[in-house]
Amino acid sequence: MGNKWRVIVVVLLVLTMVLSGCSMFNSPQQKPQPGPKMNIQGAEPQILVYMHETGTKQTMKMEDYVAGVVAGEMKNNWPVGALAVQAILARTFTEYAIENKGGLTAHGTQASTDIKEFQAYDAKSINDNVRKAVEMTRGWIITYQGKPIDAWFHASAGGITASAKEGLNYSKAEPPYIQSVQSPDDLAPADVQNWTATFTKQEIMAALAKLGHPVKDISSVAIGEKGPSGRAVTIVINQKITVPGPDFRVSLGGTKLKSMLLDKIDSAESGVTFSGKGYGHGVGVSQWGANKLATEGKKPEEIIGQYFKGVIIEKRWQ
């Protein structure tokens, strides 16, 4: 009887482990590691680029163009892992524009070196770090359901990223891969982590006029509605005029009014002072966040996964 009961106990133990999802006979399942999915669609493309410095057009290989963008958008002495993230973003940004917008129809090209209309570009700053970052991610683009994503990025999220609607006043449906996530931006300069910016009332009025709201005086400026990340979605002027926060920032000057992740707005006779944190629209990848994650040893594809949800990195050419 003793042996019989021991057999019954062992059988019950095995059944319990199987039903709970464990097994003494199989090793635990390993979580799949992120990495590029092979989806080769041809040779490396050549693209026509509008060189805004000279007003000319130049044909170049995609990877050569990407290297110039990485050097233009990020400091070339940053960790190679962060530069690699920028390379993936630059490549994806370009592929998205080509596939969804036909490139830049105004110039009849697929890309431009003008940061105001496309991406920054600085071929003179390409160094070994940049070359390594581009080569290690050669052909990699970010896709969602098989299509290149809108690969937004910015300087610093101030600790938390924005949805597309709150950060960019995005008019289309919110992209499912864009979510508000925590971002480690503590390596950013002090005047990016916390800043103040003061504007004269004349500057505020000029910004409002460009947005179609001319006024003769400024009595008050206040934060209106806030989005999921805490950014100001709207700004209320004189307690009656409401303007989109992202549009107001661009109209006033995005290099001085660094973000809409505002702590407060103080209005006085001498001017209006904004206090906030972060730099940029806050949507997608934070460059300073990528810097920190790369410094911690995170792979480029892991960093991409931190900021874009449900995406796949595909290798489109060898």
- Which tokens sit at 124? 């003179």
pLDDT at 35: 72
Percentage of the chain lying above the pLDDT 90 cut? 88
251 Cβ neighbours under 8 A, 6+ residues apart:
207, 208, 210, 211
Q: Record the pTM.
A: 0.88
Alpha carbons within 13 angstroms on the beta-carbon side of residue 176 total 6
66-103 tens-digit pLDDT: 999 999 999 999 999 999 999 999 999 999 999 999 99
- Which tokens sit at 169? 């006043």
pLDDT at 34: 56
Paired with 56 in beta bridges are: 51
- Which letter, b or e, does each residue of 61-75 get, where b requires 16 or more Cβ atoms within 10 Å of its Cβ? ebbebbbbbbbbbbe
Low-confidence ranges of the chain (pLDDT < 70): 1-34
